[in-house]
Chains A and B, each alone.
Chain A
C-alpha cells in the first residue's frame, strides 16, 4: 500500500538524521558565546559577547582572514579565466585528445587533497619555488578551475552552436559576438562557478597545509588554534564567520541556477 504521508517512525528517523548533521554546527555557534575559555564545557556556564570583541582585537585573525580572502579571490579569478577558456575549447572545437584533456581537467577534484598537496609540494621544491601566497593560489586553482570548468561546459553544451554564427551573420565581429551573445549566455554559469570556487577555496585545509609554508589561511589558523588552550571561543567566532562567508556564495549560486534551464537550453 502506498501512502501519501510518511509514517511517524520515518519522520523521527529523518529528524534524527538532520539533527545529527546540523546539531554539532549549532554547538560551534553556541560555544562562541560561552564565558568559559579553556575547555568546551557543556552546558556553557554563562553567555557573553566578549569573544567578538576579542576576535576583533586579534591581529593574527585579521592576517589569516586577509590571506584567505586574497587567495580565494585570486584563485577564483584565475579559475574563471582558465576554466571558461578550457570549457570553450573542449565544447566548441574538435581536436585530437579532447576527451583526455576533459578528463585531466576534472581529475584534480577526484584526487584526494593529500595527493594533490604532496604532489604540488614536491613539484615546488624540485622547481625551487619558495612558498608564498602564490603557491597557495596555485594549489587552490587546481580544484577551482574544475568547478568553473564544469559549470561552463554544461552551459556551453546547452547553448546552440549556431548562435555565434548567427551573431556573425548579422554583422557582429568576434569581440561584439563575445560581448552581446557569448557572455550573456554563460554569465550565470560563470558567476555560479566562481561563487562555488570561492567557497571551496576559502575553507580549504588539506592542499593548503602542503603549499602554504609559514603563512596561515583562516582554516589553517583555526586548526592551529585548537591546540592552544587560551581564548578558545575566538576560534568559534571565526568558525561562524567562515560558515557565513562560504554559505552566502553557495546560497547565491543556488538561487541563480534555479529556473535557468528553460532560458539557456533554448536552441531549437
Chain B
C-alpha cells in the first residue's frame, strides 16, 4: 500500500490551476522529492497532504485512508515548515513537546521524549533556550525534532534547507538522509534545488505548471529526461531542437545532451562558435552558438580551452544523445 496516493487530484484557486490532475504514488519508507520552479504546484501538493488545502477534485489517500474530510490535526503526518514556525513564546523543549502536550501526555514523559528528540538532532541541552536565541541551522533542527517526536508515518518538509547557507545545507542534506534511513519514515521533500533533490531523494517528481511531468529515480531524471523542460530544469541539459536532431540522428523529436558529455573536436557533426567562457573551478563552462541553438559544455581543466569567437566542432558518444520521443512518457505510477 502506498504511503500517499494522489488520484487525479486538482487544486484550483479561481482560474489558477495550482495543482492540476496529479496522479502519484509515494511508497512507504521512500525519500520522495517534489522538484519544480516556484509556482509549479509542489508546495500546494505538500499542503494537500498535510491538510492545509482541500482538493477541488480527486482523491488523496494516506496509507489507504481517504483524507478528504480529515483536518490537519487528525492526520498522521507532520510538517517541517519553510520558516520553521517555532512557537516564539515557548522554549525549545516545550516547542518539541507541543504535539505530545496536545496528545495529553504527562509533563515528565513528554519532556523526556522531547529531550531524546533533541539529542537525535544533536541539540541535547538546548531545551531551555528560546527559539530567538538559536541560529538558523539550530532552529531547523528544532523544527525537525518537533515533527519527528510525534512519530508521524509521513514527514513533510517544505524547502527546509532554503534559508541555510551552502555549507550548512550540504551538512543537513546528509543528516536528513541518514535520519530518514534510520527511522524508516516516509519523507516527502519539496525543493526548487535540483542538486538537493537529486542527491537526497530515492525518487523525484518534477513539477511544472501544476502538473507532474516526470517521476523517476535521480538517474532517470538526470540522464533520461522525457521532455525538454526536465532536461533544461534539472541540471541545465542542452536541448537540441527537432530539426537539428533530424539531421544528426535521423529522428524528428527533441533531444538532450548533458554539458559534461559534449566534446570539442577538430572534426565533428556539429559546427559551433564559442560565445563565452567561465571558470568554475573543477571545470570550465563554455557557451556555444551552434547553428542558432545555444549550447553549453563543461570542459575538464586538463583539456585545452578554446577562446571566445573560435569556430569549433562538437561531438559526443552516440548513447549520450538522449532522444525525447513523444509518447515515451512513462506512467507516473510506474516504478513506485
Binding site for B on A (CB under 8 A): 159-160, 162-163, 165-173, 176, 180-181, 184-185, 262-268
Nearest CB of chain B from residue A151's CB, rounded to whole Å: 17
Nearest CB of chain A from residue B129's CB, rounded to whole Å: 12
Q: Is B265 an interface residue (CB 8 A)?
A: no
Given contacts A180-B102, A262-B132, A266-B131, contact A173 B71 (CB under 8 A): yes
A268 touching B83 by the CB < 8 A rule? Answer: yes
Q: Bound complex: CA of A169 vs CA of B73, how far in Å? A: 5
B102 touching A267 by the CB < 8 A rule? Answer: no
Q: Is B106 an interface residue (CB 8 A)?
A: no
Total interface residues on B, CB under 8 Å, equals 30
Given contacts A165-B72, A266-B131, contact A170 B88 (CB under 8 A): no
Partner of A162, one of B83, B130, B132: B83
Chain B contacts for A165, CB-based, 8 A: 50, 52, 72, 79, 81, 85
Q: Is B237 an interface residue (CB 8 A)?
A: no
Report the number of A-B residue pairs with Cβ-Cβ less than 8 Å.
Answer: 81
Q: Is B16 an interface residue (CB 8 A)?
A: no
Given contacts A185-B89, A266-B88, contact A172 B83 (CB under 8 A): no
| 23 residue pairs bridging A and B, Cβ less than 8 Å apart | A159-B88, A160-B83, A162-B85, A163-B85, A165-B52, A166-B81, A166-B85, A168-B73, A169-B77, A170-B98, A170-B150, A171-B73, A171-B102, A173-B73, A180-B98, A180-B102, A181-B87, A185-B89, A262-B132, A263-B130, A265-B88, A266-B131, A267-B88
Nearest A residue to B97, CB-CB: A170
A263 touching B85 by the CB < 8 A rule? Answer: no
Q: Is B183 an interface residue (CB 8 A)?
A: no
14 extra interface residue pairs, beta carbon distance < 8 Å, beyond A170-B99, A267-B85? A163-B85, A163-B88, A165-B81, A165-B85, A166-B81, A168-B51, A170-B146, A170-B147, A171-B102, A172-B73, A185-B87, A264-B88, A266-B130, A266-B132
Given contacts A165-B52, A172-B102, contact A268 B84 (CB under 8 A): yes
Partner of B72, one of A169, A263, A264, A268: A169
Q: Is B248 an interface residue (CB 8 A)?
A: no
Nearest B residue to A181, CB-CB: B87
